[in-house]
Amino acid sequence: MNKKILTLFLALAASVSAFAQANISPAKAQSKKVILLGGVVHTGNGQVINNGYVVFEKGKITGVGDATTVRFAANDGEMINVNGKHIYPGFIAPVNTLGLVEYESIKATLDFQEIGNLNPHIRSIVAYNTDSKVPATLRTNGVLMAQIRPSGGAISGSSSIVQLDAWNWEDAAIKTDDGMHVSWPATPRFRGGFGGGRMGAFSPESLAERTQNAILELNSFFTEAKAYNEGAKPAETNTRFAAMAKLFKGEQKLYITANTQKDIVAAVNFAKKFNITPVIIGGSDAYLITDFLKQNNVPVIVKQPHALPNNIDDDVNMPYKNAAILYNAGVTVAVSIDDFWQQRNLPFMAGTVATWGLDKEKALQTITLNTAKILGVDKSVGSLEVGKDATLFVSTGDALDMKSNKIEKAFIQGRDINLDNLHKQLDKKFSDKYGIK
């Protein structure tokens, strides 16, 4: 009985919380030309224009350049003076469950994982919730796009890339089913301890054997799926094998989560067997094998620079340095965060990368153009260039610095979006209560 009462209480709490935030409707399509004039333009490709302009119309950028070399007529469009402010391309948050999770303590709001170990047929995009309150908190810090992916099992399913101001998942989608996600089987690390040299109920040998069996199962599935998709059309459809077709045709990327040096090498060699160049997610030890990654043209999406070292004898600051070491070695690298609710801190992770070995504009690329290249959407987003989507924002300060990041305006595909969110509403509510200005 108590359990039923608790469940009902949590459900009611969720309902009340859902109405705590004012309804924020997605912005309407851009109706007139917009000119951002006089700001510091960070193009996202390494270039900075100190007194620049950005012009966009019908959702696309039509001009970027030095404001001292052009003159705009007063009736040429909506002129927005951004002198002394900064213009950035919208940040992209890769590899997360944003919109698939709302309340971690309430099972009914968790929609990021399916039962089973091999689920390539799962599509995260159809479960993406555009009414989630979380994306609004990301927009406030300049994160305007995200890669939504499922998790769990050896093969989790397909991710998709969305913009964060939409009525439904169809409106949100920038690219659907961009990649298949695999978690490389990794043997738990044995640190010694009680139980006669055992880890719990398992010996190191039995754990290693279990990992090897998982790798064999993964290899067998890929082999059968490849044969299924390259052979004659079968009488009965195998939905799991059929879901791998785009991957083998090169129309979909393969994202493999792996962290140790040994696992990264094994994962890359596994993908090469099937003529696939993978993207490594995590890559805690990637800095140890930069030559291998570069030779194989393997990009890395580094997870959470604000973390503890992966190995007990690592430099304590290695998580901060990893992205810079990879970037400076010629590896295409992007930065991500694990938890869906922490995605708003993505720009500050890039700021940490800038402090530990990367030029500020190169660090910016790890959450803009580099990310767009890895995800395969760099032709439309990731930098401020003519012809690309007008997905960008204006900040009064450095957007990678927690102290000075203050987003005044943001546009997604040219639409002037609402930057309100539940955090701001609560801040105002209690600031008014205690007279805080």
Q: What is the CATH number of the domain that holds 39?
A: 2.30.40.10
Residue 231 confidence (pLDDT): 86
* Domain stop point among 356, 379, 402: 379
218, 111: one domain:
yes
Residue recorded with tokens 């609710």: 341
Whole-structure pTM value: 0.90
Cα maximum dimension of the chain: 81
- Would 308 be classed as within a structural domain? yes
**Cβ-Cβ contacts under 8 Å for 16 (sequence gap 6 or more):** none
Per-residue exposure over 212-227, b if at least 16 CB sit within 10 Å of its own CB, e if not: eebbeebeebbeebbe
**CATH number, domain with residue 129:** 3.20.20.140
* Domain stop point among 379, 398, 416: 379
Paired with 52 in beta bridges are 39, 66
Question: Quick one: CA torsion of 339, 344, 345, 349, rounded to 10 degrees?
Answer: 90
- Would 14 be classed as within a structural domain? no
Structural domain harbouring 409: 23-90+382-437
Alpha-carbon 232 to chain mean position = 37
Angle at Cα 226 formed by Cα 224 and Cα 232, nearest 5°? Answer: 95
Paired with 354 in beta bridges are none
366, 240: one domain:
yes
Alpha-carbon 343 to chain mean position = 8
Identity of residue 27: A
- Would 13 be classed as within a structural domain? no
34, 180: one domain:
no
Walk along the chain (437 residues) and give the pLDDT tens digit of each residue: 455 554 444 444 444 444 444 568 899 999 999 999 999 999 999 999 999 999 999 999 999 999 999 888 878 899 999 999 999 999 999 999 998 887 666 666 666 667 789 999 999 999 999 999 999 999 999 999 999 999 888 999 999 999 999 999 999 999 999 999 999 998 776 554 444 444 555 677 788 888 899 999 999 999 999 999 998 888 889 999 999 999 999 999 999 999 999 999 999 999 999 999 999 999 999 999 999 999 999 999 999 898 889 888 889 999 999 999 999 999 999 999 977 778 999 999 999 999 999 999 999 999 999 999 999 999 999 999 999 999 999 999 999 999 999 999 999 999 999 998 888 888 889 988 898 87
193, 318: one domain:
yes
- Would 304 be classed as within a structural domain? yes
How crowded is residue 105: how many other Cβ atoms within 10 Å of its Cβ? Answer: 9
CA distance 349 to 336: 8
- Would 284 be classed as within a structural domain? yes
- Would 4 be classed as within a structural domain? no
* Domain stop point among 361, 379, 397: 379
Question: Quick one: CA torsion of 106, 112, 113, 118, rounded to 10 degrees?
Answer: 180
Give the neighbor-by-neighbor strand order of the sheet with 333-336. Answer: 91-96, 143-148, 155-163, 173-183, 253-258, 279-282, 300-303, 333-336
Count how many domains the chain has. 2
Quote the tokens at residue 219.
């290899």
How crowded is residue 76: how many other Cβ atoms within 10 Å of its Cβ? Answer: 12
85, 96: one domain:
no
221, 84: one domain:
no
Residue 207 confidence (pLDDT): 80
160, 42: one domain:
no
Residue recorded with tokens 């490709």: 45
**Are the C-beta atoms of residues 136 and 24 closer than 8 Å to each other?**
yes
Quote the tokens at residue 192.
């010694």
77, 149: one domain:
no
Residue recorded with tokens 């990893």: 322
For 38, phi then psi, to 5°, come to: 95, 0
Q: Three-state SS for 120?
A: coil
237, 252: one domain:
yes
Label the pairing between strands 78-81 and 34-42. parallel
CA distance 335 to 349: 7
- Would 272 be classed as within a structural domain? yes
Residue 112 confidence (pLDDT): 65
CA distance 49 to 64: 9
Residue 193 confidence (pLDDT): 44
Q: At what angle do helices 346-355 and 318-328 cross, to 10 degrees?
A: 80
149, 163: one domain:
yes
393, 433: one domain:
yes
- Would 367 be classed as within a structural domain? yes
What is the DSSP secondary-structure string of 261-320? HHHHHHHHHHHHHTT---EEEE-TTGGGGHHHHHHTT--EEEE-SSS--SSTTS-TTHHH
Q: What is the C-alpha R_g of the chain?
A: 23
Residue recorded with tokens 């030890």: 285
81, 170: one domain:
no
Q: Is the four-CA dihedral 37, 42, 45, 47 of positive or negative sign?
A: positive
